[in-house]
Amino acid sequence: MPELPEVETVRRGLRRALVGAAVSSVQIFEPRLRWPVPSAQLHALVGARLLEIERRSKYLLFRFDRGTLLAHLGMTGSFTVTDEHITPPRRKHDHVEFQFERALCVRYHDPRRFGSMHWMEGDIHPLLDALGPEPLSDAFDGNVLHAALRNRAAPIKSALMDNHVVVGVGNIYANEALFRAGIHPNRAAKSLSLTRCIRLADEVKKILAEAIAAGGSTLRDFVNSAGEPGYFQQSYFVYGRADAPCKICAEGTKNTQNPKTRTILTMRHNGRATFYCPKCQR
DNA sequence: CTTTGCACCTGTTGGC
DNA sequence: TGCCAACAGGTGCAAA
């Protein structure tokens, strides 16, 4: 389930392999992604040279000399590159294939088809219009976060996952950042002091940077552009650890007196699983 | 304006 | 063993 670190990991791998190469062929096996793929524009990429691959939020922007391909991985999407001079056998759920010069083969694979591809002329696209600040940029910090939460009565967990507040923070890293910042996921967003917003923004930046350094997280199906998993899931404090002892406050205790207070609990926010430690998070 | 719930989709898991 | 419901969740969109 790619969040910002996973998309960034894919971007870096694709970028190293592909920038400077020209497209030699395009095949669309399944155009029905979240929205129909722009078939005509994709086929018209034959002969186009890839100049750069950028990222905005969880979107990948493939900059070609004749326009930009915008792609989102949704929940289960992956781009992988092979250069074996033999086209690998097509797997189930391989939906789009780009052949580049130097025998590079790029496959888009997406079992659930929540991902999407769009064609963009210039820098304008409706899907990018209303996005909030990039969490790893100077446009996002504790002051910005505090201001964005001013009128938000919703739980901080929900607000943190709202793309208008900050982009790229999905369910996993929202849970983990709140734990690291010591903030209860149910706390009303607007009730957070500036001090706590500074702490939270800092933890968001740190966890995303750490996850990128670890090559992202692989819970089920995430793979980078070389088909390899990430390793950051080993660093989770709360996500997926329901009923397990808190790694911080239950550490070294026999956990006999009042085990409930040192155990990771779950609740739901907007249909998504929330994990938290009731002792460490207030 | 904020907030919530739904739809989209398939593979995996757990209970009976 | 087999069957089916529940679950996983990114995010645009409709609706409250």
Q: Which nucleotides of B are covered by protein (CB under 7 A)?
A: 1-12
Phi, psi of A163 (to 5 degrees): -65, -15
Distance in Å from B9's C1' to A113's CA comes to 6
Q: Report if CB A63 to strand B is under 7 Å.
A: no
Distance CA A14, CA A43 (A): 20
Distance CA A238, CA A37 (A): 37
Query: Average pLDDT of A114-121?
Result: 95
- pLDDT of residue A254 exceeding 70, the answer is no
User: CA dist A143 to A162, A197, A198, Å?
Assistant: 17, 7, 7
Whole-number pLDDT of residue A184? 96
Query: Average pLDDT of A193-207?
Result: 97
* A58 flagged as catalytic: yes
Q: What is the pLDDT of residues A45-94, one digit of tens each?
A: 999 999 999 999 999 999 999 999 999 999 999 999 998 777 788 999 99
Q: Report if CB A273 to strand B is under 7 Å.
A: no
Whole-number pLDDT of residue A83? 85
Q: What does the mean pLDDT of chain A come to?
A: 92
Q: Which nucleotide is nearest to A268 (CA to C1')?
A: C9
Handedness of CA A122, A125, A130, A131 (dihedral sign): negative
DSSP assignment of A203-214 equals: HHHHHHHHHHHT
* A272 flagged as catalytic: yes
* A3 flagged as catalytic: yes
Q: Report if CB A171 to strand C is under 7 Å.
A: yes
DSSP assignment of A124-144 equals: --HHHHT----TTSTT-SHHH
Q: Which nucleotide is nearest to A30 (CA to C1')?
A: B9
Distance CA A16, CA A9 (A): 11
Whole-number pLDDT of residue A251? 73
- Of the residues A34, A56, A247, A272, only one is catalytic, namely A272
Q: What is the pLDDT of residues A214-253, one digit of tens each?
A: 988 888 778 889 988 888 888 899 999 998 999 999 876 6
